[in-house]
Amino acid sequence: METHLTEENLKKLRSYYKYYYFEKGESGCNHALFYSDIREEIEVHYRDLRNISDKLIKGLCFIYNKKINNPTKFDNEFCSYLYYWLGHNIFPNLSNKTLFSKIITMIYQVLELSGMHNVCQPIYKEIHEETFNRYKLLFDYSQDHQNIKLSTSNAYTTCNQEYKKFIQNYINTYRDAYSKCEIERTNKYDCVYFNKLFEKYEHTDLNSFHCVQHNVQTHSADEEEVIEPSRLSLSMPRTSSETPDSVIYTNPKGNNGQILNHNLHEYRGLAGRQVLGSHVPMPTDETDESGSTKTIMGSVVPVLGVSSFSLLLYKVNINIVYIHRIVIYV
């Protein structure tokens, strides 16, 4: 069954749901130490973050309640999501990016004093924004890969440009990290962390996905007027004004995510369909009057309406009556 993937499908990824808990946040943490202390620290020392102060507090309240209310059922995976959620919101709001290490250290220290003893620790304290963003992409891909694989496993799956670009960003970042860690052996990435994220997966799976990019085009009113008369056909032939679909292949052997232009019907094995009436035989030059009438009837009935068919019968009946009159008079 064909599936068309758009940016709406990105909201079904595992990471989206996990981050959503922090984005939504929770209330009821007014009594907790972090509620007042972090708010005060931001107000006094990190004024760039004042516009997201409430958001940060509510997100921290979510994980605090999760741990305090259900300590035995706490999912430690939330700790990684907490770190990347905090960095994702803090970095863009800082005019001085070097302050991140101080801010992230302060937040985790206050959380620990609030009752979350050594539950969550920052993955990295000293980190540049660009490096942080790369690691966040790697972490998110490690969480979303199974969903992406299931969504794009069908050979007839199509996707729009936004979906393709989002997933391709995952793939490109993973490929770069794999190359630097496993092939070139450089220190661009923390390879221990990289291998930990993807130790459960096969490189051939992580390195590829399949999606047929299909962009829906709209027609102007003038184009609609031209197309309208052709609706008698079962399937319209492709015109030069239509944009061909692009088949996106990224595989472990190469191509680097290149876009191969193919007609979507050709890719699916549908080279083309006949239009209505193309299989109907043309009228033949028969001397028999009734045979000629049958041939005309067989050719016209599929494409004429009821009113035209009735008119034809009427004319045939007139001819028959006229012939009978000639016989009588003769």
CB atoms within 10 A of CB 264: 17
| Burial degree of 4 (CB within 10 A; 0-12, 13-18, 19+) | middle
Cβ atoms 78, 63 nearer than 8 A: yes
**Residues 131-153, buried b or exposed e (16+ Cβ, 10 A)?**
ebbbbbbbbbbbbbbebbeebbe
pLDDT, residue 154, reads 81
Q: Does residue 150 fall inside a structural domain?
A: yes
Closest CA relative to residue 188, chosen from 265, 238, 109, 134? 134
Q: Does residue 160 fall inside a structural domain?
A: yes
Q: Does residue 192 fall inside a structural domain?
A: yes
pLDDT per residue, tens digit, the chain (330 aa), is 678 999 999 999 999 999 999 999 999 999 999 999 999 999 999 999 999 999 999 999 999 999 998 888 899 999 999 999 999 999 999 999 999 999 999 999 999 999 988 889 999 999 999 999 999 999 999 999 999 998 888 888 899 999 999 999 999 999 999 999 999 999 999 999 999 999 988 898 888 777 877 765 544 444 444 433 323 222 333 333 333 344 444 443 344 443 333 333 333 333 333 333 334 344 444 444 444 444 434 444 443 344 443 433 444 444 444 434 334 333
Q: Spell out the alpha helix ranges (H) of 70-128.
A: 77-90, 100-113
pLDDT, residue 266, reads 37
- Cα–Cα distance between 17 and 34 in angstroms, integer? 25
Q: Which tokens is 194 given?
A: 């990289």
Q: Does residue 135 fall inside a structural domain?
A: yes
Cβ atoms 101, 60 nearer than 8 A: no
pLDDT, residue 117, reads 84
The tally of domains found in the chain comes to 1
pLDDT, residue 65, reads 95
Q: Does residue 268 fall inside a structural domain?
A: no
Domain that holds residue 132: 3-213
The H or E element that residue 164 is part of is helix 161-178
Q: Does residue 182 fall inside a structural domain?
A: yes
User: Whole-model pTM?
Assistant: 0.66
Q: Does residue 81 fall inside a structural domain?
A: yes
Give 246's DSSP letter. Answer: E
Q: Which tokens is 15 given?
A: 């990471």
Q: Which tokens is 277 given?
A: 């009436």
Contacts of 248 (CB under 8 A, 6+ apart): 159, 164, 168, 210, 211, 212, 213, 257, 259
pLDDT, residue 119, reads 87
pLDDT, residue 190, reads 97
Q: Does residue 302 fall inside a structural domain?
A: no
Closest CA relative to residue 38, chosen from 20, 21, 25, 56? 56
